[in-house]
Amino acid sequence: KKIAIFASGNGSNFHSIMEAEAKKELKIKTSLLVCDHHEAYVLQRAQGLGIPIFCFNPREYEDKKAYEEVILEHLLAEGVEYLILAGYMRLIGQTILREYEGRIINIHPSLLPAFPGKDAIGQALDAKAKETGVTVHYVDEGMDTGPVIAQESVRIYENDTEESLKKRIQIVEHRLYPSILKELFQQEHVNIG
Ligand code: GRF
């Protein structure tokens, strides 16, 4: 399966997926990185691995529809079948959803439906929650609202800071995302026969 990874920042999840792909644990080929920040560290990671990149500045387009049309051209040109969001800090709009709905997957650092949207880790700490976690889910038009594929919880300790909690959440993310993608694409393989 040809996939595109969408990321806006550091790209540690991008890295964990690429590692699993390199070890041939995943039946996927990352054919494109889509990024909306010219300064993002994930760009260096992709360059280092020779992954094709489409990087855009949303401010140079009139609206979401305008930049998503250009993203879509790149996805279709590369023959991309699935979209894997890994820290992409934008809502996917109708232009891309129409083409890929049911084939877009996201990872979010909370046990959805708790703490959707930005700063999920800060939200969990502010709420004095005893646990939070990681959710892998399909993407629909809402903000972190699509059907859940897998969840794993992470304990919150009294002395946790954003940094310490984020560290433990990311350890789970880096294991969970590749393993769920592995399962999903194996199933698909079996279904197709
Ligand atoms: C992850 O915590 C992910 O759950 C959220 O954004 C963060 C991206 O981190 N959607 P990274 O860029 O993969 O390091």
Q: Mind listing the pLDDT tens digit for each residue in 67-117?
A: 999 999 999 999 999 999 999 999 999 999 999 999 999 999 999 999 999
**Radius of gyration (C-alpha) of the chain in whole angstroms:** 16
pLDDT at 108: 98
As for ligand 1, residues whose beta carbon falls within 6 Å of it are: 7, 9-14, 86-87, 107-109, 173
- Pocket probe for ligand 1: among 5, 12, 13, the residue whose CB has the most ligand atoms within 8 Å is 13
Q: What is the pLDDT of residues 37-56, one digit of tens each?
A: 999 999 999 999 999 999 99
pTM, whole model, 2 decimals?
0.95
Q: Which two tokens stand for residue 98?
A: 């129409």
First-to-final CA distance of the chain: 14
pLDDT at 186: 86
Using the structure block, give the residue that is written with the tokens 């094709």: 52
* Domain over 2-192 is classified CATH 3.40.50.170: yes
> 12 CA to middle of ligand 1, Å?
7
Atom nearest to 134 CA in ligand 1: 4
- Pocket probe for ligand 1: among 107, 144, 177, the residue whose CB has the most ligand atoms within 8 Å is 107
> 192 CA to middle of ligand 1, Å?
31
With a cut of 0.85, is the ipTM above it? yes
Residue 47 buriedness (CB in 10 A; 0-12 / 13-18 / 19+): exposed
Q: Distance between CA 127 and CA 98 in Å, rounded?
A: 36
At residue 193 the predicted structure's pLDDT band, cuts being 50, 70 and 90, is very low
Active site residues: 108
Q: How many residues does the chain have?
A: 193
> 181 CA to middle of ligand 1, Å?
16
